[in-house]
Structure 1
């Protein structure tokens, strides 16, 4: 976090803060942690990955460099080493007696590579669910190397737990169930079962027979939960939830989950963070589809490795008594937040003979001291020390305050109260930008901006609030803090799910456009029915906002429970929370093995309609469905927009009152993206001049089409300006006109202009590209354009050798954009929009660039290109 920006807010005088003494002692003994680390990029038959091996090496480096785990306590298998036989042998070796691993020593098993879901073997067809599996490097339909199924991994881990205890952590950076998309997206760690060999009968029977009878009884259940669920043998951290995809970043060559996990683990004291809190504190992963890491296991609330790994050193903070209690001699500048707990020790030297005298909670925080609760501890020595035991409540909002905001903020003692923890409904934790849920900054007009890290909002470039439809927010505490309070509630309630997910595999959310049947209900409302296919694709529906279009949901309950359903609408640009009426009945709203329609299907149901303001091109609403075994009072979550006339004062303890006591509940969310234009026809966007100074800007304004009236010298469309804060990472534009004429049937072309060289940051940020030209063509008398003739433009991907790059089939990466207009006057034309799914982006590397070619083909064809530029978004 930027301590300078926090200090500027709390103490605008600029005085230097005093240095606080924190005693750091080496822990001495080597950590008793043992690890198996597996990473596979290069598969024998399946699609290669780029980030799995770097993830594995980075995780090993964390163990050796950060936690000081000796190399001899780590087994590393990468690529060709990670065969089926070697993985199984390595797992068996961990569980062998007399191998140097004592009972209850921490054990971590890390896997990065492909996962999958296959049919159970013929002798296990009683199981009603498919089998989850990991894909060894040598998996092949032509050999005996089949995927390693969950029951085999579970049996191996169970054997380890029997011999070594249940201090076992299993980390999977792969998909572990069928990816929900109709087409498997690119850059995911998943192999479809059609590309995998079938599991044979009696697979790994020797391994299963070595387990206890209790474990074998679990395997015989109709739908066994072996690696996931409430198992006692281990805690599982997985890169994504059921039906989701685990993506990897092909630019950084890392998995999104592993990268975020290691960044978080390196920022904390490992023995003070629980597994569940770790997953809760992960920032939202900026993937193209929702990816929500999960933590499962009976011991998910344990500290990492059961607090038996402290890292290379331990930090002890002196505690001093005062008239009103005990004060920890460290505070906000050290990342301490209200609700954190500290073990109180008589000594500042790590020693098993010095157990904690007490555990106290931080009540309030000053810049460099923290007041502790419950200070009536008997026999507390005059000099004692605090060592962090837990990082505090999960409801803390991780924020980053930029220096630009701190420089413009109006001085107020409320800023100090914010970070002290004395604002009742809001607890914040200052963090670095990559770990923040909200980034607070200012734009060029010195107005406050709030940038959310919600991946759907980031993808559609509407993550920076407030939008132009709402009043601006000056950098004043009285205006900013209510917004942060609202954003804290909005972000937490949208992301929050129960620790145990009892229904998420048994509930389907479908979304349909509706059509009228011509019939009417007794109440006089038109009867509506679904038109076309389910629009929900992997938790996202993409529609055209038009008040003439009607929409509705269908909730399918495949469980054996009668359930209550509530639907809550989270607006992406307010951010407000509104309950949507479902059914006015005291009875369960969706019986077992039945479905419920919302927006159609009964006399009083009204359809959903979506509209955008005239100056708005896109918006997102998140519809969250709460399902429970008891009635749900989701109206308690409602809050208005903090950007309107009404300030947002959300009620306290909402989640406590949301469900009745002892209710089983779950939640599923679908994002509805509303566009003013079809996706493939999105207008070229020119950035606004006053976006935030440090983060991606608010949604840019669309370009207006230039006049098509004939003029001798029409003015060109304004070119987009490149550079920081413009909303367009960079551009390429022509320096002068170019005319190309074909004198035969052969192709004649000329290089018109190139972009600057791409950097890895640009490659990561660009989501689409379009060529825009101001030109005309001359057509031979009586000729019409065909595939063999015409005047058009091509875009090439140029590599470091100054030649077009090649695809795997040796085809040059040259792509046709559009034809020049057949007109006597120059006209502006938009080319093809190359979105992120196009193969043009598949081979990009830092140093590459794009080149635009002016082309004419066929005798007499002329392409007269006056001006042109490439636009990126």
Structure 2
């Protein structure tokens, strides 16, 4: 990291509170903050002048707000410079004030040094924190990392300590209410400047896009500390020192943490897939799946922890390695193929090598997609040596010969078709240029018939495009509707309006009709989505926009990443999740056109357990891409489903 990109940091740590009789003294927040400061200076090159500290009596409510405002207006911070905000101390939960309909029943807050329970307005609500973070992002970019070593759990009893005499960094759910107008001067103008953005999120303090949050535990768990330091901060720093911040994404970092009893650290944010403290998107990486043994009817078999919900189909091939970090030239132990695929698990069989090879505690990386995942490409009948289409044939031949690199995600194969009716895309000669014709009726029915740009003539660029196109169609057409879960899901797409308090609310009827939303695009009009779960199961949705014009896939909503996969359900039984307004924590949708008609597919992946979908999103296809033993096989009660809403954008007619 260059000197100009060395980080700016605000470290907040409260070991002693102003009212010690009410709020027990913590052991080690300032020790943790100093350890973070040391790491930032030694490993990332932060200078002392760029690290601001608020410890104990200096960490008042007024001072914390003032320092966050100062971060937003600092002139020496360049766009996308790393900004780290660290907090260690108590958190709490209070009933949402009247009129905060977007917040849910309860809100979460940080507990400043001068907090007094007789006046809950002395807490720092998530809405305020989120608005301040949004202002920092608006001024300096979204390379912001927020680390909270605290908890808000309603299960905490005042004065309680955790295992082995550790303290809990949280006050739990407090009685009373805060003022509906608290800090309105901070969050009201954020909404005005950010087109209706709600700066808060159900679990933690913000828009999903302004920053990445690393949290000590899930919403109902407790953050523990000992005299040596907070359990979360200690584990986080140990792993950062071990692996190096430039070698791991935020989500990977959280998953690599050692087991912390009673805590499942969480990673939230649109940019959770970025390299830590870096604004650049990472080179796509291979997904790794753990291997276990199973028994059924006395028969022992191997299974991977991935199934149809992860995009695996019968015939998918994997390379097996002893670790998730093989050397560049390391050969796999064996190649295996998926023979039986269930929602979250698949039986695998060796393709080569000894059948008795012990594969438990090994890791599998997909090397080839299975059946029903090919991108079907129509090429007009022509002499194969004709220069018009030669680049396409040469590219396909080159792709078939390339050894899949360990750093690349598993490619979906491309096959050619002689009939247009069986293909998703076709090659179209227009003058001297080759364009890609859209043949998928899901899209052509709305009048969109070709992609935005011509096919590159250089083989590496054409191959990159075809791999991206295959990835796009693989996930667009990945369907599951046999679980019955779809009957318990209601999806609404509505226009948004101001609620009179500076936040958005839905207005008008559900715009979805027969699976389509038809929008005459107008400037300044914004939209949101509501997913309602009428089932008795907690659900885990992931939502993506598939742009049919350039084959990009934009993440709209993804569940948080967690160390063990134990993630808070964002769509609880009999509950709902809003996207673009309310407590969902993401920006509202708005649209602009580059031509008369554009089509995007809003796709919902919904499962009854957490599924990592971080590998789905991609940039435009025209941009060059980087490239327990004894368990049985379970699946009968597993449920997941998909559904697609076509969002058609048109120029309004006069």
- State the TM-score, normalized to the length of structure 2: 0.45
Higher relative contact order (CA 8 A, sep 6+): 2
- State the TM-score, normalized to the length of structure 1: 0.35
